[in-house]
Structure formats: structure tokens, C-alpha cells
Amino acid sequence: MATYAAIHQEPAEADAMSSSTGSLRGRRRGRGKKDAGHQGQATWISSVINLANTILGAGLLAMPSALSKMGIFLGIFVIIWAGLTAGFGLYLQTRCARYVDRGRVSFATLSQLTYPNLSIIFDSAIAIKCFGVAVSYLIIIGDLMPGVVVGFAPGAGEINFLIDRQFWITAFMLIVIPLSFLRRLDSLKYTSVIALFSIAYLVILVVAHYLKGDTLAERGTVRVFQWAGPVSALAAFPVIVFAYTCHQNMFSILNEIADNSHFRTTSVIFASIGGACCLYILTGITGYLSYGDNIRGNIVSMYPTAAASTIGRLAIVILVMFSYPLQIHPCRASIDACMKWRPRRRTQSDSSPSRNTLVEGTQKPNIPRNSEMSDYRFAIVTTILIIMTFITAMTVSSLEKVLAYVGSTGSTTISFILPGLFYYKISDPESPSHQRLVKDEDDEEEFASGQGEGSTTREGYANRDWRRELLRNAALGLSIYGFVVMVTCLVTNTFLVAAAH
């Protein structure tokens, strides 16, 4: 890693100005100290595809039911609000990544920079959440495949193993196991494309049934501005909020994308979150208008038995099958971080240096490096994860209550609490990492403007500092919002929903 101090160590015979200018020009082209020794290979489109596939899942089919509890107007507002807050969490992750060497950013790395002794708690929450979601995907496969087989071949119902959920879980494991052993998230872009085609089919199926009007005879009351009550609305709120959870894979995307400029990474977030939001609204409105208040949790299961609806169930199976490796990827990384965790004591070198010492290069912040997992450890951890998810899915037929609590804690932690806390802590003006980054940005701005050192106006610095402070306060607000959402969801699952049943 080329530090700022190294930039100023020119040979005695070299021209100081040309050497400094060359270093700044290299950083401006995106090959500066943050990119030293690492070059991403993922394209913009593959990053969008993988992030969108992580977002979009079976939660899409629950949007009509959520709107039935909230009403169309409030439901659309909550869908947009949830998308904005989730997108802001992703944006904060991109901002945090600028403080770490290119290709090494992760939840564990940022934890070591900000809250080193709490990193094991953060990674454990991520691992448990991803593990639970991966198990739920296998359970969905086992629940839907017998119906898909009978739908295509009614006589197959007499063959016992073809309608056995455990047989289908085992069969599909043969497909997902090789995909789970891929190291790079970008390697899953082709399976993610297939999964997104499944999503497209499901959306078309819901819209087509609405346009066809073949469900109007079974439609109940349609609420536009009214809701079903505070308890029902609170029960539907987590469904919408957690439908955007994809933050566990954002750092992998930032590590692998070829062009990690601010514009490209922000556009990845905008395209993924914006596309998911539009699909959620479209499916929610058309699905709710098809059945009204008679809607159930999974709208595809309500359609009359026909080839189109059977293909829709198969599309769900394909979707969750190819989404399974997207949960194993961050789960494996978090488990590896937990295995490497050691308690850390604050030393004198961790104290905040002054700006002058950073400029002179006499002191450098202690930025931990994320060593890549060895092949042996990678194989062992992946194998154990696959076996444990398989055993759990084979022995448990319903994880609704467990997933409700895991989602309430894990999803809010990943989506809101950690991105907010990480950025609030690491962007502290007294943070050595922040002071170092500010110095580099000052140099880049001076070079881009063609002016000499110290020529940037005070007003420019003041405006920039004001924007940074505003973003830092917004990050703290996102963390507080995450805690409120967590408490609200836990109370809803523990008391309100349980009392309703």
C-alpha cells in the first residue's frame, strides 16, 4: 500500500513537482493508494444484477398482502420510504469503503477500525441472519416442488418420492453446492440473470391476471386510503422493510467492481433499489386489486391450477435456488471473521494524530488488512455451512417465527445500524483515517483545479466540511432509525402478532 508519506519520498535527482503531479494524476485516474495491488473485474451491469437478485426474492409476492393491511396509499409510501432508507445504508457503505484499501473492505475490517471489540457481535448477527435465510430457501423448495410436479404430471402424485419434500431438497442441493463454492460474487452473475428472469415472469403473471380480470369474482374490499388497523399495519411493516435487505453483499460488490468511482457505485445502488421499488409497487397494486382483502401471503398460491401458475411456482423455486449461494457468500465471510477475532486493547498508536503529523507522514493510522481465506479454510467453512443448512431444512418444516426474530435483528443491523454507526465513527474529524482521507482529497482537488497547494478557498473547505457533517449526522439518524425498527418489529412479533393468533 502506497502511503501518503511514500508519495513525498522522491529520489534526490527527480523533479519534485513532476513527481508529485504524477502521483496525483494516478490517484485521479482511480489507481491511487486505495487501488494499490488490486484491480476489480466485475462490470457495472453484473454488479447491478447480483445486487438486484439479492434484493428481490419471495418477498415480492408478499407485497399485495402488505398493501391489504396498510391500504394502497400508505403502502406505496412505506415501500418508497423503505427503499430510500435501504439505499442510504448502501450509500454509507460506499463512503466507508473509501477509508479502506481497495479490495479489502468488509464488515470485519470496518469493525476493527471503529468498534474492534464488538466486531464479533456484528459478524455473528450477519452470519445468523444469512444462515436463516439460506435455510428458508431450501424449505421453500421442499414445499413447492411436489405441487409443481403434480401440476405438470397429475399422475406423479402416486409416486411417493416425487411428492416428498426431503427428496426435492436433496436433489436441488446437487445444483447449489457447486455454486456455493465460488469465491467471487461476480461468478454468480449468470445464475442471477436466470433468477431475474424468474422474477420477471412472476411480475408478468400477477399483472396478467389483474388485466384478465379472472379473479374479480373472489375479490374482497379494496382499501385506498384506509388501513386495516395499527396492529395489522405494524405486522406488514417488517415485510416491506426487510424486502430490501441486500447490504451483506454490498462490500463484495465494491471490492470486485472494476470502476469504483463515486458515480458508478452510486448508480449501482440507484438502479438496484429503484428497480426493486418499481417492481414492488407494480406487483403490490395489481395483486391487491386482483383479490382485495381476500389476499393471502403468497399471491401465486391463490391462482387457479393451470400451466401458468404451475410455471410461476417453478419460477419461485428457481429464484430461491439461485439466491441460496448469495446468502452463503456473506455468511462464510462473517464466520471466517468470527474465527479470526481476538480482543484488542487500545494502544498509544491508536490515538488521533494531528493533521501536521499526517501531512509529514510521521504517523500512519492503523488500518487492519483483511487476509484472504485460505483454500483449506474456505472449503471447510463452506462444507460445514452447506451441511448445516441442509440438515436444518430437512428436519424443520417451518421457520416463520425464527426468521421473524432473525429478520428483526439481523436485517436491521445489516441495513441500518451498522452502516450508520460505521460511517459516524470513521468520519469523526479526529479520526486518523478521516484526516488521512481528507488530506488526499485536498491534493486531488488542488490538482484537478490546476492550482497550487493552499489555493483552495476557505469557503470551499467550509462548504465541504458542512456537507460531511450533515452526512455524518444523517448516518447517526439512520442508526437510531434502525434501533427503532428493530424494537418495533420485535414487539410486533412477540406481542401483537402472537395475540392476534
Alpha-carbon dihedral of residues 251, 59, 488, 90, nearest 10 degrees? 20
Phi and psi at residue 42, in whole multiples of 5°? -75, 140
Given this model, what pLDDT does residue 399 score? 61
Distance CA(383)–CA(178), nearest Å, equals 11
Given this model, what pLDDT does residue 16 score? 41
Given this model, what pLDDT does residue 440 score? 55
Distance CA(61)–CA(206), nearest Å, equals 9
Q: How many CB atoms lie within 10 A of CB 193?
A: 15
3-state helix, strand, coil in the chain (%, to 5): 75, 0, 25
Phi and psi at residue 117, in whole multiples of 5°? -80, -10
Over the chain (501 residues), what is each successive 10-residue block's mean pLDDT? 35 41 42 51 90 86 89 94 95 91 85 83 87 89 88 77 86 92 87 91 91 83 85 84 89 90 93 95 93 83 83 90 91 88 60 41 44 83 94 78 73 91 87 63 50 52 78 95 90 64 48
Find out whether 277 and 80 touch, Cβ atoms under 8 Å: yes
Burial class of 305 by CB neighbour count within 10 A (0 to 12, 13 to 18, 19+)? exposed
Find out whether 283 and 60 touch, Cβ atoms under 8 Å: yes
**Cα 207 from chain centre:** 27
Each as own residue / partner, the long-range contacts of residues 434-441 (CB below 8 Å, 24 or more positions apart, any chain) are 434/99, 435/352, 435/353, 435/355, 435/358, 436/4, 436/358, 436/364, 436/365, 437/98, 437/99, 439/4, 439/355, 439/358, 439/359, 440/4, 440/27, 440/32, 440/33
Distance CA(23)–CA(32), nearest Å, equals 8
Find out whether 385 and 131 touch, Cβ atoms under 8 Å: yes
Find out whether 291 and 220 touch, Cβ atoms under 8 Å: yes
Given this model, what pLDDT does residue 362 score? 37
Distance CA(134)–CA(326), nearest Å, equals 9
Distance CA(75)–CA(233), nearest Å, equals 9
